Amino acid sequence: MNNNRGQIVVEYVLLLVIAVGIAALLTSRLVSRNADDPGILVAKWHSILQVVGDDVPDKRKK
């Protein structure tokens, strides 16, 4: 029974390491602020800001 408790702790730590690794990978790919390779969310936010910034209120579409 004592050996089972050790195995459970090892499995828990292993799952925790895997979960933290996946979270770090997702974070780096989604919200990276690197100018050469921005994350997906940062790039999309930048394009939304460009569209809003380029909008001229006096120019009407007909």
The full DSSP string for the chain is: -HHHHHHHHHHHHHHHHHHHHHHHHHHHHHH---SSS--HHHHHHHHHHHHHHH--TT----
The confidence score (pLDDT) of residue 34 equals: 85
In a domain, 62, yes or no: no
Q: Is residue 24 part of a domain?
A: yes
Domain total in the chain: 1
Tell whether 19 is covered by a domain. Answer: yes
Q: Please report whether residue 61 resides in a domain.
A: no
**pLDDT number for residue 45:** 92
Mean pLDDT by 10 residues, the chain (62 residues): 78 97 93 87 92 78 60
Domain boundaries, position 39: 2-54
Name residue 40's amino acid. Answer: I
Report pLDDT for 1: 53
**What is the rounded distance in angstroms from the CA atom of residue 14 to the CA atom of residue 27?**
20
Let me know if residue 60 belongs to a domain. no
pTM of the model: 0.62
Is residue 25 included in any domain, yes or no?
A: yes
